[in-house]
Amino acid sequence: MQAARECAGQSQIQPVPGLSDREAAAGDSSQPGLAALIQSRRVGPNRKQQAYSLPAGWLVTCLVSVVSWIVCETLGGLLFLALGTRLWAYHITPIFWAIASYVGWCYVFAILGTGCLAYLVWEHGMGVRGRRRWLYRSLFLVIAGPITEVIWNHATWNVLGTPLYLYTFLPTFDGSGSLLSPLYYQTLLLGFWVEEWIPGTMAAQVRCRS
């Protein structure tokens, strides 16, 4: 109920003192001053809420993406490691038995976070709404995630002489990729879902219009 009020708030009409209900509802266009007064009252409880600027939206999307990634990557990797299967190993600033990496988190923040924002801008511009937005988001992550990681890990390998990480289970592209990579990147759907509930973000605007 609260979410519905948030999304619909800006279209609600507040009563205008001194006007009849019929005048307020009709917004008599023959009286410009009256119409402007009525329009100025067409605000809801969130009238002070504004969309983030692009730089602020980028920061929020990157933060949400990296936090979601940290939780899913660390817990998932440690769970499989406890069961006797190592899925990957980080080679630069490794932590948690090489399941995670500080530099890896920076990559997610700067590169994947920026990619997620670019997708949201596209989604917003193309008018993707309703449940199908989750299908489009999933397809984006399945395609863009594995391609991005292979490119950047190979670039790091060539520049520094050591890879950021290597997949150890079902590896591809010399360990920079994995047959399971498309599934790993579905964890960022959690980031999209969280961001939809942060007022003013691009994802929240899409949710309210769905």
Averaged pLDDT, 99-127: 95
Confidence of residue 206 (pLDDT cuts 50, 70, 90): confident
Helix ranges restricted to H, the chain = 2-8, 21-26, 32-40, 54-82, 102-107, 113-126, 132-160, 181-184, 189-195, 202-208
Strand (E) positions, 37-127? 88-90, 94-95, 100-101
pLDDT tens, position by position, 121-154 = 999 899 898 999 999 999 999 999 999 999 999 9
Strand (E) positions, 10-93? 88-90
Per-residue confidence (pLDDT) for residue 52, from 0 to 100: 77
Per-residue confidence (pLDDT) for residue 101, from 0 to 100: 97
What pTM was computed for the model? 0.76
* Under 8 Å between Cβ of 198 and 204: yes
Per-residue confidence (pLDDT) for residue 75, from 0 to 100: 96
pLDDT tens, position by position, 6-50 = 565 444 444 444 545 554 454 444 455 544 444 444 444 444 447
Per-residue confidence (pLDDT) for residue 44, from 0 to 100: 43
Domain ranges for the chain, please list them.
Answer: 2-40, 54-208
* Under 8 Å between Cβ of 117 and 62: yes
Distances (CA, A) of 111 to 18, 145, 155, 196: 56, 10, 13, 20
Per-residue confidence (pLDDT) for residue 48, from 0 to 100: 45
Per-residue confidence (pLDDT) for residue 207, from 0 to 100: 78
How many residues appear in the chain?
Answer: 210
Asked whether residue 182 carries a pLDDT value surpassing 50, the answer given is yes
* Under 8 Å between Cβ of 62 and 110: yes
Pairing of the two strands 171-172 and 177-178: antiparallel
Asked whether residue 1 carries a pLDDT value surpassing 60, the answer given is no
Nearest to 188 by CA among 76, 82, 89: 76
Per-residue confidence (pLDDT) for residue 210, from 0 to 100: 62
